[in-house]
Structure 1
Amino acid sequence: MDMLVDIADDLKLLGDKTRLTMLSLLKEREWCVCEFVEIFDISQPAISQHLRKMKAQNLVKENKRGQWVHYSLDVDNKPHIQAVLDQMPDSRTILTNLNKELIITECK
């Protein structure tokens, strides 16, 4: 029964469009909090809150570099999440739909 609860909790997180989009972007590379702020046009604390929830559920892992935190996908042991992400568009398509250019910046 614990496994069902864990899967349900994981899928609840994907019910939020911003978190689902973040995880979809993370399929291809790691992203910095500063990049997500620019992409989603929401505050850094709001982005960090989304990422905190996903980290608590072991969907992402973080790597601190100076003052910035970079996130990467961590769903190797979660095939149900990987199955959903396999159906999601690539980052170029996502960014085009958000009217954003493909950004690869070094946060400073």
Structure 2
Amino acid sequence: MSVTIFGIKNCDTMKKAFTWLDEHQVEYTFVDYKKTGVVSANILAWCNAVGWETLLNKKGLTWKKLSEEERADLDEARAKKLMAQYPSLIKRPVLVAEKQIMVGFSPEQYAKWIN
């Protein structure tokens, strides 16, 4: 099975996901979208799979640093544009395995996925 995990290397949640994957001997490819940028097609696919509200990280520092104008009247199109402009706004990790996309880290969710 082909597994790709997208996120930011120094994120604590990412570190938990890496540890879990390693402990369960799941081979994966890591894409650090803070360094490489994020492909708009990925944002579109992820939003289609989980919804833009799930993908958008409103709890992080990047969201808090946005201006009131940027946060006001948010809709799907504006959210996608912001996530493309500021990849740190994407909730981490995004795990893509075959046709399944999971956002965020939950040991229980990952365990269900591999079983």
TM-score of the two chains, using structure 1 as the length reference: 0.30
TM-score of the two chains, using structure 2 as the length reference: 0.29
User: Higher relative contact order at CA 8 Å, sep ≥6: structure 1 or structure 2?
Assistant: 2
